[in-house]
Amino acid sequence: MTKVISFISRKGGSGKTTNAINLATSLHDMRKKVLLVETDPNYTLISSRKIDVFKHKVNEKKLFPIIASTDDEVATELDKIIPSNTYDYIIVDSAGKTTDQGIKELCLVSNMVIITTSLTQNDLLVAYQTVKDLKPAEKLNDKLKLYILPNRIHSHTRIKTIKDALNNLDVSMFDNYVPQKKMFTMPSTYKSERRYRPIAKMIIKELK
């Protein structure tokens, strides 16, 4: 059965896009059938894929597809794709604000929503508000799981800072984290970063 994993945040720069592509390439490398959906009107991932294919002479037919959508339409489009069971995982890199109706509808068709955050005060405040905005969706979608993914972290000991900041929200947080390393911030759209695989395995384990 197809699982939908959506990356959602109230602001840009939190690591949604880089983690969405790192997860997609890792799952594809693990022989999973993956679809990546981008709702950012700049279509950064689609442009990056075209550059990768041209620059590295990659056979695009062997890669997982990246398609464009909008925050207003993505839930409706997923409703059409999911029943076919063509994909094991559909990953959505959303662009919209958490107060948008389209984002609320996206939560209703998602199995997991991942909110990425670093340790900066601004990112923690954004993550806090994002979780508050999305919490009501759990009552409408009983299969939905909200998770915090610590991103751009220097050491595991500092994870407690995030737990302390979000401790009254009743939200799950992954035990693993994405380190502050260049390899994770400039991902390829066709080749997986080997050191991201434990994070990918951790994510899909929570969906079983």
Q: pLDDT digits over 94-153, tens only?
A: 986 777 899 999 999 999 999 998 878 888 899 999 999 999 999 999 999 999 998 877
Percent of the chain with pLDDT over 70: 93
Q: What is the pLDDT of residue 176?
A: 83
Would you say residue 200 has pLDDT above 90?
yes
The predicted-structure confidence for 76-99, as pLDDT tens digits, reads as follows 999 999 999 999 999 999 986 777
Q: What is the pLDDT of residue 119?
A: 78
Single-letter amino acid, residue 35: L
Residue keyed to tokens 């991932």: 45
Q: Where is pLDDT greater, at 178 or 204?
A: 204
- 99, two tokens: 């107060």
Considering the domain 3-205 in this protein, what is its CATH number? Answer: 3.40.50.300
In the predicted model, what is the mean pLDDT of residues 52-64?
92
Phi, psi of 127 (to 5 degrees): -60, -40
List of E strands, 58-109: 66-68, 89-93
* Residue 83 to residues 31, 80, 120, Cα–Cα distance (Å): 21, 7, 40
Predicted confidence band at 156 (pLDDT cuts at 50, 70, 90)?
Answer: low
Q: Where are the domains of the chain?
A: 3-205
Predicted confidence band at 190 (pLDDT cuts at 50, 70, 90)?
Answer: confident
- 116, two tokens: 């990425």
- pTM across the whole model: 0.92
In the predicted model, what is the mean pLDDT of residues 19-26?
95
Would you say residue 157 has pLDDT above 60?
no
The predicted-structure confidence for 28-37, as pLDDT tens digits, reads as follows 999 999 999 9
Whether residue 115 contacts residue 9, with contact meaning beta carbons closer than 8 Å, is answered with yes
